[in-house]
Amino acid sequence: MKDSAQTPNPDPDPDPDPDPQNSIIKITNLSKQFDGIEVLRDINLNIKKGEVVSILGSSGSGKSTLLRCINWLEQPERGAIYIGDKRIGVDADTNKPAKYKELAKMRQRIGMVFQSFNLWPHLTVKQNVMEALIHVKHWSKAAAEEMAETQLKKVGMSHKLDSYPNMLSGGQKQRVAIARALAMEPEVLLFDEPTSALDPELVDEVLTVMKTLSKEGYTMVIVTHEMEFARQVSDQVVFLEKGILIEKNPPEKFFTSPDSIRVRQFLKLDLDPADSRIYTQTT
C-alpha cells in the first residue's frame, strides 16, 4: 500500500469547489485504466451525508474499481475524489501524491466491507473488531473492548464474542466484518457485494443489519445484485456499463421507468420494440 500512495497523479485539482457543505463524497471526471484499457470513464457522482447509494451493473462494468478508487486502493489517471472537503490521494498544497500518513488518515474516514469478509482467522470475533482500534487508532484495550462489544451487539453477534471465524456461518462472518468497519466510526461505509458469497438463506440477516444502518443515517455506497434491497434502502441508484455511469435515479424511477434502454434491459422490463431495435443496433 505504501508504494501505491507514491504513484504520481499528474492531474491538477480539476474542481476548486468541492461543495463541502452538501457532499460527503464528490467524484469528478474520474477515469481509470488497467493495461491501457479504460475501466472507468469520466465518472461524476455526488453523495450527500446520510445518503445510501446502490451501484448496479453487470460483472466487469467497473463497480469494484469505483469503490476501490474512493478509498484510493486504486489510483485513477484522471479526476478527483473528495471526502468532505478533502481530496483523497493528492496533497492539497503541492498537488503531489499524498504522504502515506495522510492517506491512512483519510482511509480511516471510509469503512469497507468486502464480499469475502477478510476476518483474521487466528483472532476471536471480539479481537477482530478490536484489532484496528488498538493498532491503528492506538486506543486502550478497555476502550477497544467496549467499542467492539457495542458494535457486535448492533449486528446481533453478542453471543459469539469469543468464537473464532471458522466457527461462524457466512452471514455471521459478514456481520462481524460490518461491526469491525463500524467500530472505526467511519463517515462513509463502502460495501462491495456483501452478500454475494453467502448461501441464500443467510443473505437476509446481513441485509437486515444494513437496512438498520441506513435508517440510522450512515452514508453508504453499496455494490449489490439484490434489487429489492436496493429499491428499499437507496436514495440513489447508479448503473455502470463498461465503465460509464449511464444512469442515476431515485429507486422508484430507476426500477419502474429508467431513462436508459440498457437499464430497462438489465431489469428485464418490457422493452418497446423500437427500443430493443435501437439497442441491438448500437451494441
Smallest distance from Mg ion to CB 110, Å: 17
Query: What residues between 2 and 41 interact with ligand ADP by CB under 6 A?
Result: 34-35, 39
Where residue 117 falls (left for φ over 0; alpha for ψ -120 to 50; beta otherwise) is left
Query: What residues between 72 and 91 interact with ligand ADP by CB under 6 A?
Result: none
Considering only 50, 60, 217, 250, the residue that binds ligand ADP (CB under 6 A) is 60
Smallest distance from Mg ion to CB 104, Å: 24
Stretch that binds ligand ADP, among 56-64, 167-175, 177-185, 253-261 (CB under 6 A): 56-64
Taking the least distance from each CB to Mg ion, the nearer of 133 and 206 is 206
Q: Measure the CA–CA gap between 209 and 218, rounded to whole angstroms.
A: 12
Considering only 9, 23, 65, 249, the residue that binds ligand ADP (CB under 6 A) is 65
Q: Measure the CA–CA gap between 212 and 200, rounded to whole angstroms.
A: 20
204 and 133 in contact (C-beta within 8 Å)? no
Stretch that binds ligand ADP, among 57-65, 95-103, 157-165, 257-265 (CB under 6 A): 57-65
**CA distances in angstroms from 273 to 183, 264, 268, 270, listed in the order given:** 51, 12, 13, 9
Considering only 23, 54, 64, 219, the residue that binds ligand ADP (CB under 6 A) is 64
Provide the pairing of β-strand 110-113 with 236-241: unpaired
Smallest distance from ligand ADP to CB 270, Å: 26
**CA distances in angstroms from 226 to 27, 55, 112, 158, 276, listed in the order given:** 24, 11, 18, 27, 25
Considering only 59, 94, 166, 282, the residue that binds ligand ADP (CB under 6 A) is 59
For the record, the C-alpha cell of 56 comes out as 448496479
Sign of CA pseudo-dihedral 59, 62, 63, 67 = positive
Query: Under the criterion CB under 6 A, does residue 1 sit at the interface with ligand ADP?
Result: no
Provide the pairing of β-strand 78-83 with 188-192: unpaired
Residues that bind Mg ion (CB under 5 A): 64
Residues that bind ligand ADP (CB under 6 A): 34-35, 39, 57, 59-65
